[in-house]
Structure 1
């Protein structure tokens, strides 16, 4: 039941009523593309058409890191896959925000904020730090007669300091549509209704139910669905005028009373509901803004937006040699009669030629099996992120070196001495389709992807592969997040890695770290009531020179569609032990099943060769699914490091260039009270491929996992060389998604 309140001050909603009237007016634009934000001209095709603006950059973000006006949300959505990081500050309140556009119609945000208290502490802190998650869903796109409409849940799983729900509508107009002649520019109008924080000022109705007041120091982390869209509802509205492609002028009417901040903490004085701002799009990725808020405060924002499909440096891959048609071999046909297949010296010569051709492409020949009309090449790919791109380079190398009688190529990418898949294609298709506009689709349709099987006994193996030794030295960073005394701590130093492969499938590897600078050691000691399986990070950070890892592992294929791994030694900075894993992953299936078992012992804080008393068995059964459009789902169930039982859900989105963004949560039999702040383990992760930055082929990535709170419940051991990621990249679904890169 909705109970309307009498409007004693109608002036405070006049701006909202005016905005709603504008929103109801007929628009002059067609459906707005998500990527360009380009709006068709109202007078297009006439002599008096207004000057066209360039396509706009993505919509700007509000102080909460979501598309919006200043402090209020708009209905905008970022381009699909967009990743935005922003910082905002005003009136003693700072907010660090991360937003990801997971689907064209769905976005999610994580926020870390600090509220200065001016002596009147919140939960015992002079500056109260808090974390929150937001989610937004577009209900419908903007149409000729309709605005774009979005529903949002703000701080829906935190302590509730910023908890709010809203519906918001946004409409865009060209200046010409407003009767402003040839004036360039665009006007964006937004209006909406908010609950919670966004219903705390100027409420016009109540939807019933009680919203409990915010309690500082609450553990948070649980969904407050019983409060959603309950209590007072208030209108908000705003305008954004874009005179050109760089500048934006903004004004809004805010429905947030800032009850907490203007109460005992006296963070700032709220004198007005009107906010004003100006923003400048410094570059395609950086936007800056300055504002005057609530009649008393000055604020600013800095926004950085990245899109995986728009790398800062275009990829510059050395061009591969073209396919050599067999007609060019005519002068040597006598030399390459089919009886070459019976000559061991000629086969060895062909192997050497193929090895040189592959080396020029950045690939390594492991073995080659030669018959009169077919050949199987097993190769290693240390350069290209895309298995399809590596296969294309390998196929063209064979076309330049194998005798003309060889018609069938069987390409087998190899990881740690084990074949991952077999890509079969006809040489004649390769020759015929090289310059076809439909080459990628046509060749993939004509090719087959099968299980690799064991290496043929008659294979000619490269004599220089084993034993193999590699080493590298580079910087490392070790962050620690969300300490109430200092939200971000960091250790930096040098990491020396080395590995030795004595035979196919075997690997001995390790890493030594030398910290150069850092302050993680100054963090707070653990207060966990569970075994301290992860929360003693401060204790492990007390030592400057550490042995990060030292282990021996074996990777092999025990049977069809089965892969296996065993690892023993020091897995990571906190644990060592014995680990085993088996993965069932058919090459043409999107599904995979795995089982992993680990017996681990906690390492001493100095991270040398000694151990602590804590020992435990941990392991999981896992299910993997490739959902399409780059989405990957992983479900784990089993026993975690603290002895708790439960399950983990992980959803990642990986783009064709290797850019990955994902989120996870774990629920176990540990109660929210015993778990502590955050109630259960959750977080998000991202991985940015190095070649996305550099524009040069590389398989390396820069990755980071962020948990709102690092606790001891729901924690896994980090074991090197887990199977699924290594195996999946060369199977059918990945090859199909990357098929266009076969010709790069």
Structure 2
């Protein structure tokens, strides 16, 4: 009995038993951190209740759209979560029944206002403190006219045992004093359609009676307690309804989707598996000729989504020769996938009497980088004896070496770049806040022809056809705040109104990799609908670095509103009306680029002269998510004396770039871009000048989870 007691005690103190006990505790903590009540959002598409915000928010990468009927307002909303701890929301408030005093009779209708909201979450449950409340501060409507401006601090605690969430906050501005909220999800633990139903009550702290910008029809308050419910369908749609001020009913519909982390809407069923069969490692010789090797590689690369353009055999002493290849990636967005597929092709098809293989990747006519593989490492990688990360350390991307010449190598394969490539795609352009309507648009299609002349010079010809437009009666100047600097952008609507068919681009470009990380390009022609000219750019962007620096300069002519001619003069608004004077555009910039790779952030800075001859700096920052989505913001400071509503205006806006293959059943390098400025003004304006160097190299070298920082 004594021995049994000792053995039991010894087993109880066993390190293995303690390890499993610790792992169970860790799992329990992780489960508590990940367990959440359904997120409730308010009528402004913020984490909140009905009119008040909470400290909770979405996860990074989530994109949301919403419409709310909050009498006497209609609120259109757009939300995007840059980080887990940063919530950004844009609202468009429409004052129902209140005609805009200036533009209402011109077609604008009811008065409206744009608002930008931001919330900083200092503490989230996911940070490892499940027993602590989430805590955040935020600013509503902190830009522009700021009619609904508020600052608030708020704490939110989830009580999972009771399926209850409680919030206490304090605000100033439109919000006045303390507010609170409760959200109860009574059926959360039941497998029923009511599982996603949340009952909500809040204390509304908005100062409806005394807030100077409040709608006249929304000042009466019978009760500050708003009660209602939210229902979430498929974790995609949110329906909300509640009482409002004790005398109205309000409701909203919101759509939210994790666009930053999605794998795509359609599985990539037409992407081939990495190459594995047939395998042919016969040495080059009587059994396997040079021509057979070239055909094997060309067909294998084509099947994998690449074009092989050059193949050289470089003799070496000892019978172990080298191969040199130039390939173009046609399909994949991430460099690690490009590299992996190249490695598998070479591992299964490289002849056994080859010692080393050099592969150069090219994009838009620019040799981007090269890989230098040993055959033995390729074989070990394909057999699983060498991991991908280890292989990357052994054979990292390198600067591009010189193309072998005919005296030192034998050319086994050569293919010319395509001369004619036709594409057809839809085209859309929007205008928000015009004096003749809140939203104006143009929709049509683009027909593009591009290719290479003499296998060296890239050309692009793009025509646009406008099928439907609501911009016919728009004016080309701001009535209240006419631009008093050179009109380089504010007259852009005149190009759209001139004709339904436009030649938007027709230019030539030659790019070079000068070696040692230096790149350059020359471009000439019609760069966009409004400008044509000549451009020179130089960039220093070494392989395996997270920064780049460059210089660009362009001399530009303003295109005629009709046809393909040029305007010799530009207009400028003065106290005596418009005056016209000779104008030739000159823009030049020193460019700085930096990537914070652990967070997938990139920053781009331009310092120099802009189109309207104003000098200053433009700063842009963006984040690229796992799905390939990139969302960016920019702000420009120049010496242009441009004023909007009595305040000095500096150009600012946002941009979004979405991988097209999110909507396809196969991978694609094509991206869909959209950008919008806060106002269409002339300060900080930049003309397109062809295909710029940094974006081409950036996306060709991009990895979502880079090995080298």
TM-score, normalisation: structure 2: 0.84
| 1:646 corresponds to 2:602 | no
Deviation (angstroms), 1:739: 6.8
Give the Cα separation in 2 of the matches to 1:588 and 1:503. 32
Give the Cα separation in 2 of the matches to 1:333 and 1:577. 53
**Which 5+ residue runs of structure 1 have no aligned equivalent?**
1-28, 40-55, 179-185, 200-233, 341-345
1:706 equivalent among 652, 673, 676:
676
1:196 equivalent among 173, 176, 179:
173
| 1:400 corresponds to 2:348 | yes
Give the Cα separation in 2 of the matches to 1:643 and 1:427. 56
- Aligned equivalent of 2:698: 728
| 1:716 corresponds to 2:668 | no
Are 1:474 and 1:494, in contact at CA under 8 Å, matched by a contact in 2?
yes
- Aligned equivalent of 1:494: 445
- Aligned equivalent of 2:52: 72
Give the Cα separation in 2 of the matches to 1:160 and 1:677. 13
Are 1:253 and 1:274, in contact at CA under 8 Å, matched by a contact in 2?
yes
Are 1:561 and 1:584, in contact at CA under 8 Å, matched by a contact in 2?
yes
Deviation (angstroms), 1:139: 1.8
Are 1:385 and 1:657, in contact at CA under 8 Å, matched by a contact in 2?
no
Give the Cα separation in 2 of the matches to 1:377 and 1:33. 53
Alpha-carbon spacing, 1:434–1:113, altered in 2? closer, same or farther (3 Å): farther
- Aligned equivalent of 2:9: none
| 1:378 corresponds to 2:326 | yes
- Aligned equivalent of 2:368: 420
Are 1:122 and 1:128, in contact at CA under 8 Å, matched by a contact in 2?
no
Counting only pairs closer than 5 Å after superposition, residues 1-400 of structure 1 correspond to structure 2 as 30=29, 37-39=34-36, 59-118=39-98, 121=101, 127-142=110-125, 143-174=129-160, 177-178=161-162, 186-199=163-176, 234-242=177-185, 243-244=187-188, 245-258=195-208, 259-260=210-211, 265-267=216-218, 269-307=220-258, 308-310=260-262, 311-323=264-276, 329=281, 332=282, 335=285, 346-371=289-314, 372-400=320-348
Q: Tell me, what secondary structure is at the counterpart of 1:449?
A: coil
Q: How many residues align?
A: 638
| 1:582 corresponds to 2:538 | yes
2:634 equivalent among 654, 660, 664:
664
Q: Tell me, what secondary structure is at the counterpart of 1:360?
A: helix
Give the Cα separation in 2 of the matches to 1:322 and 1:616. 51
Deviation (angstroms), 1:70: 1.1
- Aligned equivalent of 2:22: none
Q: Report which of the two has the higher share of strand.
A: 2
Q: Tell me, what secondary structure is at the counterpart of 1:521?
A: coil
Which sits farther off after the overlay, 623-632 or 298-307?
A: 298-307
- Aligned equivalent of 2:394: 446
Are 2:631 and 2:656, in contact at CA under 8 Å, matched by a contact in 1?
yes
Which sits farther off after the overlay, 690-699 or 716-725?
A: 690-699
Q: Tell me, what secondary structure is at the counterpart of 1:455?
A: coil
Deviation (angstroms), 1:333: 5.6
Are 1:681 and 1:711, in contact at CA under 8 Å, matched by a contact in 2?
yes
Alpha-carbon spacing, 1:333–1:506, altered in 2? closer, same or farther (3 Å): closer
Deviation (angstroms), 1:686: 0.8
Give the Cα separation in 2 of the matches to 1:317 and 1:594. 39
Alpha-carbon spacing, 1:33–1:473, altered in 2? closer, same or farther (3 Å): farther
Alpha-carbon spacing, 1:680–1:278, altered in 2? closer, same or farther (3 Å): same
RMSD: 2.8
- Aligned equivalent of 2:594: 625
Give the Cα separation in 1 of the matches to 2:99 and 2:374. 76
| 1:469 corresponds to 2:455 | no
| 1:456 corresponds to 2:404 | yes
- Aligned equivalent of 1:540: 495
Give the Cα separation in 1 of the matches to 2:426 and 2:236. 26
Question: Residues 436-491 of structure 1, C-alpha deviation per residue, up to 9 Å, x if partnerless?
Answer: 59833222222222101232223637444246211112221121222244222111
Are 2:99 and 2:110, in contact at CA under 8 Å, matched by a contact in 1?
no
Alpha-carbon spacing, 1:680–1:70, altered in 2? closer, same or farther (3 Å): same
Are 1:617 and 1:641, in contact at CA under 8 Å, matched by a contact in 2?
yes
Alpha-carbon spacing, 1:678–1:110, altered in 2? closer, same or farther (3 Å): farther
Give the Cα separation in 2 of the matches to 1:638 and 1:444. 39
Question: Residues 309-344 of structure 1, C-alpha deviation per residue, up to 9 Å, x if partnerless?
Answer: 123333335333544698x74xx569579xx8xxxx
- Aligned equivalent of 2:572: none
Deviation (angstroms), 1:160: 1.4
Give the Cα separation in 1 of the matches to 2:604 and 2:641. 24
Which sits farther off after the overlay, 510-519 or 409-418?
A: 409-418
| 1:531 corresponds to 2:486 | yes
Deviation (angstroms), 1:106: 1.8
Deviation (angstroms), 1:120: 8.5
Are 1:530 and 1:675, in contact at CA under 8 Å, matched by a contact in 2?
no
Q: Tell me, what secondary structure is at the counterpart of 2:657?
A: strand
Give the Cα separation in 2 of the matches to 1:446 and 1:621. 35
Q: Tell me, what secondary structure is at the counterpart of 2:175?
A: helix
- Aligned equivalent of 2:8: none
TM-score, normalisation: structure 1: 0.80
Give the Cα separation in 1 of the matches to 2:219 and 2:659. 43
Are 2:588 and 2:610, in contact at CA under 8 Å, matched by a contact in 1?
yes
Give the Cα separation in 1 of the matches to 2:215 and 2:343. 72
Deviation (angstroms), 1:267: 4.5
Which sits farther off after the overlay, 574-583 or 89-98?
A: 89-98
Q: Tell me, what secondary structure is at the counterpart of 1:724?
A: helix
Which sits farther off after the overlay, 133-142 or 257-266?
A: 257-266
Give the Cα separation in 2 of the matches to 1:91 and 1:350. 73
Alpha-carbon spacing, 1:677–1:377, altered in 2? closer, same or farther (3 Å): farther
Give the Cα separation in 1 of the matches to 2:664 and 2:706. 20
